[in-house]
A and B are shown apart, each in its own frame.
Chain A
Amino acid sequence: MAPLNSLEKEYPLIDSNFQIFCASHAIYSVEDFLLHDIDALFTSATNCSSSQKLNQGIHQLLSIIDALHPPLLNGLQLVEDARQNKHVFSTGCQGIDALIGGGLRVGQLTELVGPSSSGKTQVCLMSASTVAKHNCSVIYLDTGNSFSPQRVAHFIGQSSDYVSGNQADRRLLQNVLDRIICYPVFDVYQMFDLLHQLKNNLRSKIGKSDRHVKLLIVDSISSLITPILRGSGPQGHTLMISAGFLLKQLAHEHNITVLVTNHVVGGDDGNSKPALGESWKSVPHVRLLLSRDCGGKVCNMSIIKHPAMASGRTATSVRLFV
C-alpha cells in the first residue's frame, strides 16, 4: 500500500497528527506499520496527548489491512467448493484422460512438456475443441502463430470443407468455434495485460452463467519467458513466478482450467529436461512429458508430477494425425 500520507484523502482519521506520531516510531508506510509491535504502539499512543484520536487512527489502519486479505476458509468449505465447482474436463483423448484421472481438473495448472513436434499444440487444440463442444468458453493465448482453426474444426467432427455441409452443420460449427477466442501474444508484458483484463472481466461478471470461460491455454509460456530469464538481475525469475501465481489464482478463484506448454533443453548428462529451470518445477500442479518416436505417428505421454496419480505412469496416445 501507499505511504501513509497518501491515505489521508480517503481516511481523515490518518491526519498529519497521526502521521507525526507514526514518524516518531519510524513508520512511514503500511509495511512499516505491520512490522512494528502493535501493543507497543498502543501503549505509547495512550501516553501521548489526543490519545483517543491516535487510537482510532491505529484501529482504522488495522481495519484497512483486514479488508485486503482474501477470506479464510475451513476444510468443510473447501470440500464443498471442490464438489460444486472443481469439475474435470475431458481432453478429448481417452488415453490421456485415463492417465490423468479423468481429465483436466478445474482449478489446477497443467503443464505439457516436450521436444519440438511431440504433439503439445495438438493436445491443446483437442482440449479446446472438446471444452467448446460442451458449451464453455476457451481462451487461447498463442505465441507461435500455431493456432489452426482448420484443425479445431476437424476435431469437432465436421470435415474441413465445411462449406459443402448443410446449414445446420455449419451453424453448429459456428456456435462451437465462436466460443474459442485466440489472442496472439508476443511479449510477456502483453500476456500480463491480458491476464489482468481477464481477471477484471471475470470479477465484474460474477452471476452471469452463460458463456463462462472454463479453459485458458497459453501456448507456449516458455517462449515468452526464455528471453527474459537469467538476464541482468532476477527480474526474469520474478516475472515467471508472478505469471505462475496469477494463472493459479485465476484457476482457483474463477474455476478455470489452465493449460500451458513448455519445451525441453539439454541437461548436463545429455538427457533433456524441461525448460524454465528449477523454480518453475513447483509452479504447475500437473506436469506431463510428451515424446514422439522419430518420424513415428504415435506419441507417448508420461506423468512427471501429479497430486493424485503416481508419477512415471505412461500412456500411448492414439495416432494424432488421422
Chain B
Amino acid sequence: MEIGMLPISASKRGKLLAAGYTTLHSIATTSITHLATDIEVSESEALEILNFATRNSALERSSGSNTNVIQGGQTAWDMLNEERFSSSITTSCADLDNILGGGINCKEVTEIGGVPGIGKTQIGIQLAVNVQIPLDYGGLGGKAIYIDTEGSFMVERVLQIAEACIEDMSEYSHHFHKDNQAYGVKMHPNSILENIFYFRVCSYTEQIALVNYLDKFVTEHKDVKIIIIDSVTFHFRQDFEDMALRTRLLGEMSLKLMKLAKNFSLAVVMLNQVTTKHVEGSFQLTLALGDSWSHSCTNRIILYWNGDERHAYIDKSPSLKSASAPYSVTSRGIRNSTSSSKRIKMV
C-alpha cells in the first residue's frame, strides 16, 4: 500500500482509500479540485497531499541524470577528509582525552552514565566551559546549551571552573609565547557565563518540547557547539505508567538529537543514571531507561569507582578501543588523577 508511506493523518488516508486511490501514481495524475471533491477536504489540504505524491513521480522523471549519488549522501572518502578537520572538546583531563581520541567529538551523541556522586554534572559543567576555549588555544570557540532537569547546576561552581580555565589558558600562553607579552588572554569569567544558554525543564513534556525547539534555537545561534542534557533520565523514571509510550517518546527524542548533532555539527552529551538489572542470577549495575535506549547514542562512557579513584570506561564506540582512564574532580574542575599509576589501562 503505497499510500501508507505518505506522512499524512490517518483520517485523510482512510478517505483516500475509500475513494479508490491506492497508489501514489493515481494521486499524482489527478487535479487538485478533483482530489478535493473526491475526498471532501479543502483545496489547500489536497494540494499538500498532491505535493507529497508528485515528489516521488518527479524523481522518477528526473532520474535520467548522470549522478550516481542520491541527494543527501556523502562518500566515505569525503567523510574521512572531513574528520581530519573536525575538532573535539577537551575534558581538561589528559588521560580521558587520550582514550576519547582527543575529547568529545562533534557530530556525535555521547552518553555518560554513572552512580550518584561520581562527577557527571562536574563533567557536564567542565565541557560547557571548555567548548568556549578560543580557536587560538586549540578549542572550538563556541557556545553551550545546558538543559538541567534535576536542578544540579550551581552557578558558583561554574564561575569557579571558568576562572580556573582562564588561569590555565594564560599559563599556557605564558609558556608558549614568552617573548610576546601582548598575547594576554582576553576572556573574562563573566563572558564564559554569558555563553552558556541554560534551560530548566520540570517535566517530560517540557523536555520533549525543548528538544523539538532546539532546532530553531540552534539555527538562530549558529555558534552553539555542545548541548548537555543533565540528566536525560530524571523525568522518565518517576511514575511512567505506559512503558510503550515511554519507549516511543525516547526513541523519537534520540532521533531528533542525532539529527541536531549531524546537521549542525555539534556535540550532544547526555548524562544518565544507573539502575540494577537481573542478569543470570546476579544483579548488575546498568544505565537506566532500558535496552532500547542503549542504542540511542553513538558513544557511551561509564563512570565508576575503582577503590578510591574515579574511572571512566568506554563502553560503546564505533571507532574507539575499549579502555578506561582515571580522572579526578578538583576545585578547579576535572583534572588528571594524582595517583601514582599514571598509565592508561587497556581493557
CB within 8 Å of B: which residues of A?
1-3, 6, 9, 28-31, 115-117, 121-122, 125, 132, 137, 139, 143-153, 173-174, 177-184, 186-187, 189, 192-194, 196-198, 200-201, 203-204, 211, 220, 222-224, 226-233, 235, 238-239, 242, 263-266, 270, 272, 275, 294-295, 297, 321
Contacts and interface: CB of A to CB of B under 8 A. Distances in A.
B67 to A, nearest CB: 9
Contacts of A222: 292, 295
B323 to A, nearest CB: 10
A228 B4 CA distance: 13
B152 to A, nearest CB: 26
30 contacts: A2-B27, A3-B19, A3-B20, A116-B295, A117-B294, A117-B315, A117-B316, A121-B318, A122-B318, A145-B107, A145-B298, A146-B298, A147-B76, A148-B318, A179-B75, A183-B70, A183-B72, A186-B255, A186-B262, A187-B255, A194-B70, A197-B70, A198-B70, A201-B70, A223-B251, A226-B247, A231-B248, A242-B1, A272-B291, A321-B322
Contacts, number: 194
Among A146, A192, A220, residue most surrounded by chain B Cβ atoms (within 10 Å): A146
B255 A1 contact: no
A227 B252 contact: yes
Given A116-B294, A150-B319, A200-B60, 17 more contacts: A115-B291, A144-B109, A151-B319, A173-B77, A177-B75, A182-B74, A186-B256, A194-B72, A201-B68, A203-B63, A211-B68, A227-B248, A229-B248, A230-B248, A264-B291, A272-B291, A294-B284
Given A117-B315, A295-B322, A145 B256 contact: no
B19 A145 contact: no
Contacts of A116: 291, 294-295, 300, 316
A125 B294 CA distance: 20
Nearest to B299: A146
B347 A295 contact: yes
A197 B59 contact: yes
For the complex of A and B, 10 pairs with smallest distance between CB atoms: A29-B20, A2-B26, A116-B294, A177-B77, A148-B319, A149-B80, A117-B316, A227-B251, A186-B259, A227-B252
Contact of A182 (B56, B71, B79): B79
Nearest to A239: B4
Given A151-B318, A238-B1, A223 B255 contact: yes
A81 to B, nearest CB: 25
A149 B76 contact: yes
Nearest to B72: A183
Contacts of B59: 196-197, 200
A56 B146 CA distance: 71
A242 B72 CA distance: 23
Contacts of B196: none
Given A137-B68, A223-B251, A295-B322, A239 B5 contact: yes
B298 A270 contact: no
B154 interface: no
Contacts of B258: 143-145, 184, 186
